[in-house]
């Protein structure tokens, strides 16, 4: 960061590759991955599958592509998919679930991102000529729109029991699953053992430039490989993407704790500011969401005022702002962000008096 320092808290997707990743890219052994001949991709896929306790993995271009492929792989067109009402698949993936996969999304509300098994059971309506066949349940962990909340292993297990009872598949959008594992200090397999398949992103807090991994049985991955090709995601010398992914899995996971500490520091600072509401229970990983309706200005305007002070953030809705900590955000950046929010709030306080 140089010149007028910009503190970018919009997302952990803004992270840049580390020097070690750049070295790994420069020296990666490459081949044509559509022919299955890129040794670096093969190594990453094997490593990722082992890490998740599953048979096989597939490197894909993005989290959105991973989710779309898994929706298509796990279902047939015309079927019904149960997902959490604030989930990324439902909100932010351009309706690919319907437009491309031909599925009916069936949103179910939750309080902190964890679906209630009873509500899922209710959503699985009895067979009836009027209803599409339910075939898949999707979970998200950590849960982005709920503020980086963690869905515990027991909560996933409870949903997996419902899925098994009714013969549905269970998929996990684990874009930030390592954040959940690090926060709870447990092995990531504690989550993955309860789901049929999942994805995680390399390009978020793990700092890789590109890529996500889809993980599941050998059969699921073979089907998904073909679907990736249909969607134009077959890549040739993809080892340049896989090489930093290997570095990420080997050395970027433990440091997520630092991001969580900074998020907590940020949230606790914000909690002290008058007229701003923050639910500290939700601040469990690297995402901090807060409500500025007490300031009497729209979140868009609040964000632009923050930008003038060198702080970048995103809106969640017209009253809510989201900030995400990541590699490159240090304690002093957090303090500057709190000070900037405080100064906007006190300006508004004077105007409102």
Query: For binding to ligand PLP (CB under 6 A), which residues are involved?
Result: 62-64, 67, 88, 140, 144, 173, 175, 201, 203, 212
As a whole number of angstroms, the distance between CA 139 and CA 112 comes to 12
Q: Which CA distances in Å does 343 have to 272, 297, 337, 353?
A: 13, 14, 10, 15
Q: Which CA distances in Å does 51 have to 218, 268, 313?
A: 15, 34, 32
- Do residues 96 and 87 make contact, with C-beta atoms less than 8 angstroms apart? no
The nearer residue to ligand PLP, 110 or 203, going by C-beta atoms, is: 203
Residue that is written with structure tokens 């998740």 in the block: 52
> Cβ of residue 54: shortest distance to ligand PLP, in angstroms?
19
> Cβ of residue 273: shortest distance to ligand PLP, in angstroms?
26
The nearer residue to ligand PLP, 79 or 140, going by C-beta atoms, is: 140
> Cβ of residue 97: shortest distance to ligand PLP, in angstroms?
12
Which residue's CB comes closest to ligand PLP? 63
The nearer residue to ligand PLP, 182 or 201, going by C-beta atoms, is: 201
The nearer residue to ligand PLP, 84 or 196, going by C-beta atoms, is: 84
> Cβ of residue 13: shortest distance to ligand PLP, in angstroms?
6
Torsion of CA 226, 228, 229, 235, to 10 degrees: -130
> Cβ of residue 140: shortest distance to ligand PLP, in angstroms?
5
Residue that is written with structure tokens 């930093």 in the block: 244
Structure tokens at 183: 């926060």
How many beta carbons lie within 10 A of that of residue 336, not counting itself? 16
The nearer residue to ligand PLP, 62 or 75, going by C-beta atoms, is: 62
């Amino acid at each position: 960061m140089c010149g007028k320092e910009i503190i970018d808290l919009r997302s952990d997707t803004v992270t840049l590759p580390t020097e070690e990743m750049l070295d790994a890219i420069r020296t990666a052994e490459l081949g044509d991955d559509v022919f299955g001949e890129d040794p670096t991709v093969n190594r990453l896929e094997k490593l990722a599958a082992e890490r998740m306790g599953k048979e096989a993995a597939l490197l894909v271009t993005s989290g959105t592509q991973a989710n779309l492929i898994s929706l298509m792989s796990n279902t047939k067109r015309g079927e019904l998919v149960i997902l959490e009402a604030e989930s990324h698949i439902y909100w932010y993936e351009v309706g690919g679930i319907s437009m491309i996969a031909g599925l009916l999304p069936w949103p179910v509300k939750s309080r902190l991102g964890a679906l209630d098994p009873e509500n899922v059971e209710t959503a699985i309506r009895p067979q009836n000529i009027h209803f599409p066949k339910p075939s898949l349940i999707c979970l998200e962990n950590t849960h982005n729109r709920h503020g980086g909340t963690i869905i515990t292993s027991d909560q996933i297990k409870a949903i997996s029991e419902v899925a098994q009872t009714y013969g549905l598949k269970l998929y996990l959008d684990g874009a930030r699953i390592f954040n959940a594992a690090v926060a709870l200090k447990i092995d990531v397999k504690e989550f993955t053992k309860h789901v049929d398949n999942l994805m995680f992103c390399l390009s978020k807090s793990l700092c890789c430039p590109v890529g996500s991994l889809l993980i599941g049985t050998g059969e699921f991955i073979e089907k998904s490989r073909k679907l990736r090709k249909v969607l134009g995601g077959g890549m040739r010398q993809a080892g340049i993407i896989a090489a930093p992914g290997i570095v990420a899995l080997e050395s970027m996971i433990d440091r997520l704790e630092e991001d969580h500490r900074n998020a907590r520091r940020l949230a606790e600072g914000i909690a002290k500011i008058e007229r701003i509401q923050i639910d500290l229970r939700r601040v469990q990983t690297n995402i901090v969401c807060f409500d500025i309706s007490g300031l009497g200005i729209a979140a868009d305007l609040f964000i632009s005022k923050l930008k003038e002070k060198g702080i970048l953030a995103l809106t969640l809705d017209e009253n809510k702002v989201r900030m995400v900590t990541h590699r490159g955000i240090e304690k002093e950046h957090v303090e500057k962000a709190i000070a900037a929010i405080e100064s906007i709030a006190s300006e508004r306080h004077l105007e409102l008096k």
